């Protein structure tokens, strides 16, 4: 991908500011390509959570959405955590609140609450263990057979984990509006256009889409599969931001987004290079988590990170 001189100038200015602040820039795979290119690490939720916990930088600039920056603040209370655009949220995370989860826990007193990292700090504080799409199967398998499981908030990811582990799981009614809109008809049309391509999808997709896929995994898992596969054409069923890394890592291979209009997360596109630069200049907006919430949420996140 070609970047113009204005973009390159902004990269240099951001790098200078980053050095001055002793900052590390973390970016999710769904961010804009020019934002991914200036980051110190581009990854999925699990990779970025681990990096946030391990960094010796004074400042963490999180190019993602609010729950990701919150997780960094939970794991690194001595760091300054910046989210360049405060409005960058997550519709799925908003589908569960701590109060609603408290009520559900009263209905299921024996249940282990497994909460997807796509959730607020307050919800994590009410949960037993976190997971990401990369480790959800491992997390579910770690729970004793005699325990009930409540999975929050993504019913599609929870249903996927239930099928992979043969466990009965109580599913919250949440979903990712981006992945959830995909239909069987979308898959049929894409396969008609690209009959030689393998279909790779994220487990936030509905069950009927997952059933049709050639491979299902987290963003990092999809990237790994594309790298290691001898196949040269792929249909990608996740947010279109991943196409940048796929193309970078696989010159000569061809990638087609499953649905161009549906697979764009507006919240993941809020952060721009000017906004990123401004956030480093002003050292804001900062993301913090109240101490009592942080301590409870930390237990939930740490249990996940301790699982190798």
Q: What is the full per-residue pLDDT of the chain (308 aa) written as tens digits?
A: 788 899 999 999 999 999 999 999 999 999 999 999 999 999 988 788 888 889 899 999 999 999 999 999 999 999 999 999 999 999 999 999 999 999 999 999 999 999 999 999 999 999 999 999 999 999 999 999 999 999 999 999 999 999 999 999 999 999 999 999 999 999 999 999 999 999 999 999 999 999 999 999 999 999 999 999 999 999 999 999 999 999 999 999 999 999 999 999 999 999 999 999 999 999 999 999 999 999 999 999 999 999 86
Same domain, 220 and 280: no
Are 196 and 169 in the same domain?
A: no
Strands 80-82 and 233-237: unpaired
Clarify whether residues 108 and 132 are in a common domain.
yes
H-assigned helices in 76-204: 98-107, 121-125, 136-141, 155-165, 177-180, 184-193
Question: Domain containing 298: what range?
Answer: 93-177+293-305
What does the pLDDT read at residue 308?
66
Domain identity same for 104 and 250: no
Task: Say yes or no: 85 and 231 in one domain.
Answer: no
Q: Looking at residue 307, what is its pLDDT?
A: 83
Cα torsion angle, 168, 170, 175, 180, sign: positive
In angstroms, rounded to a whole number, what is the distance separating the alpha carbons of residues 165 and 167? Answer: 5
> 225 and 252: one domain?
yes
Asked if 63 and 207 sit in the same domain, the reply is no
- Tell me the Ramachandran region of residue 283: left when phi exceeds 0, alpha when psi lies from -120 to 50, beta otherwise: left
Per DSSP, the three-state class of 148 is strand
CA 149 from centroid of its chain's CA atoms: 22
- Before 59, cis peptide (omega within 30)? no
Where residue 117 sits, what CATH number does that domain have?
3.40.50.10800
Question: Which pTM does this prediction carry?
Answer: 0.94
Are 68 and 203 part of one and the same domain?
Answer: no
Listed residue (53, 73, 111) closest to 303, CA to CA: 53
**81 and 97 fall within a common domain:** no
Number of domains the chain is built from: 3
- Do 169 and 298 fall into the same domain? yes
Contact yes or no for 243/222 (Cβ under 8 A): no
Q: Are residues 236 and 259 in the same domain?
A: yes
Q: Are residues 171 and 192 in the same domain?
A: no
């Amino acid at each position: 991908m070609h970047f113009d001189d204005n973009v390159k100038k902004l990269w240099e200015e951001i790098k200078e500011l980053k050095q001055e602040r002793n900052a590390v820039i973390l970016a999710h795979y769904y961010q804009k390509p020019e934002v991914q290119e200036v980051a110190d690490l581009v990854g999925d939720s699990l990779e970025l959570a681990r990096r946030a916990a391990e960094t010796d930088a004074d400042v963490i600039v999180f190019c993602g959405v609010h729950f990701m920056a919150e997780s960094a603040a939970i794991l690194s209370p001595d760091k300054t955590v910046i989210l360049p655009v405060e409005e960058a949220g997550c519709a799925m995370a908003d589908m569960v609140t701590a109060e609603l989860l408290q009520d559900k826990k009263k209905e299921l007193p024996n249940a282990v609450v497994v909460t997807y990292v796509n959730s607020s700090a307050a919800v994590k504080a009410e949960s037993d263990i976190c997971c990401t799409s990369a480790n959800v199967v491992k997390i579910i398998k770690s729970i004793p057979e005699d325990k009930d499981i409540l999975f929050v908030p993504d019913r599609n990811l929870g249903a996927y984990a239930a099928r992979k582990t043969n466990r009965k799981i109580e599913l919250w009614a949440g979903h990712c509006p981006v992945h959830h809109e995909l239909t069987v008809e979308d898959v049929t049309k894409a396969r008609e256009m690209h009959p030689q391509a393998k279909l790779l999808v994220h487990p936030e997709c509905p069950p009927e889409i997952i059933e049709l896929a050639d491979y299902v995994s987290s963003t990092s898992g999809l990237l790994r599969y594309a790298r290691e596969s001898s196949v040269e054409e792929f249909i990608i069923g996740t947010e279109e931001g991943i196409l940048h890394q796929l193309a970078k890592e696989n010159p000569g291979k061809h990638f087609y987004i499953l649905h161009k209009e549906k697979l764009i997360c507006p919240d993941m596109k809020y952060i721009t290079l000017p906004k990123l630069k401004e956030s480093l200049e002003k050292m804001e907006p900062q993301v913090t988590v109240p101490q009592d919430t942080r301590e409870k949420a930390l237990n939930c996140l740490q249990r996940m990170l301790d699982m190798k």
